[in-house]
Amino acid sequence: MALGKTKIGRAQLRSAGARIGRPATVLASLLAFTAVWAVAAAVIADPLILPTPGSVWSRALQLFGPAGESFWPDVQASVFRVMSGWAIGVAGGVLLGVTLGTIHFVNTAIDPLLQAGRSIPPLAYSPLLVVWLGIGESSKVVLIVLTVLPIMAITTAAAISGIDRSYVRAAQTLGASRLLLLRRVLVPAVLPETITAMRVTYGLAWGSLIAAEIIASTQGLGFRILQAGRYLDTTTIFVGIAAIACLAIVGDALLRFLYHIAVPWKGRG
């Protein structure tokens, strides 16, 4: 009895240590990165090349503060473009991936096109999208869709193709309907890979933001970074990059939480 209590106590301590250890590790890495950055800025001693962490922080307070010029309208514009393009790309990619994974002929016909589209950098689409869709929001959103959709489709199709057919046959033997088979076997089987692909494409969507906002933008974080680059405003460039990184990290954290909620069995023995 005492041995059992001791084991439970040790397990609880390990769990508490893991919960405390992760934030502490993240904080330590951020402090180390800031220290290296500060030392490098002091050695270079040229704010045009590498501003100090303090100057970037001061500029961030100016841009996100209540007075003066504000980054908030640019944040809202970029979040709308990224989330719209990412959501459409995820939904379309999953539907296409299900089709590719279940119909062999369609997979054979479309998979080479998806592989080719996945290899094309987003910036290459910009001139064509301006010609086809103009300079409005649609061209920017579609560019992000083209970044997200091929990866989601390929990942979903691969997840469906990798399902253990013995599970499907067992469910059918027990009399499962098509709807029940989809809900209890197919969806749980492909969900881990699908959410992982959502995380990857979410980061890529933010990565393609500057390519999207090259298209005649007047607002957006990518637009502000490009404008700051034209005027050699390195500090504002760093603030824009940090804002994109923070938004991407928050979204990824939410998707990680979704992963643990939606697939709690993954990784458990």
Please, where are the H alpha helices in 162-233? 165-173, 178-181, 187-207, 209-213, 221-230
Please, where are the H alpha helices in 120-164? 126-133, 137-161
pLDDT of residue 246: 93
pLDDT of residue 213: 86
pLDDT of residue 167: 79
Nearest-angstrom CA–CA distance, 90 and 197? 9
pLDDT of residue 262: 87
4 or 111: which leads in pLDDT: 111
DSSP designation for 268? -
To the nearest whole number, what is the mean pLDDT of the chain?
Answer: 86
Helix, strand, coil shares, percent, the chain, to 5:
85, 0, 15
Q: Tell me, rounded to whole angstroms, the distance of Cα 74 from its chain centroid.
A: 19
On the question of pLDDT at 2 being above 90, the answer is no
Give me the percent of the chain exceeding a pLDDT of 70. Answer: 90
Residue 235 carries which side chain, given as an amino acid letter? T
Mean pLDDT of 16-29: 73
Mean pLDDT of 154-181: 84
204 or 2: which leads in pLDDT: 204
Residue 87 carries which side chain, given as an amino acid letter? A
Give me the percent of the chain exceeding a pLDDT of 90. Answer: 48
pLDDT of residue 6: 53
On the question of pLDDT at 36 being above 70, the answer is yes
Q: Tell me, rounded to whole angstroms, the distance of Cα 192 from its chain centroid.
A: 15
pLDDT of residue 269: 41
Mean pLDDT of 116-130: 86
DSSP designation for 184? I
Q: Tell me, rounded to whole angstroms, the distance of Cα 162 from its chain centroid.
A: 24
pLDDT one-digit tens code per residue, 56-71: 999 999 998 776 568 8
pLDDT of residue 68: 59
Give the phi and the psi of residue 136 in degrees, each rounded to 5. -80, -165
pLDDT of residue 268: 52
pLDDT of residue 12: 53
pLDDT one-digit tens code per residue, 181-236: 877 888 888 899 999 999 999 999 998 888 888 777 888 999 999 999 999 999 99
pLDDT of residue 120: 87
pLDDT confidence bin for 22, thresholds 50/70/90:
confident
On the question of pLDDT at 132 being above 70, the answer is yes
On the question of pLDDT at 15 being above 60, the answer is no
Q: Are 247 and 235 in contact (CB under 8 A)?
A: no
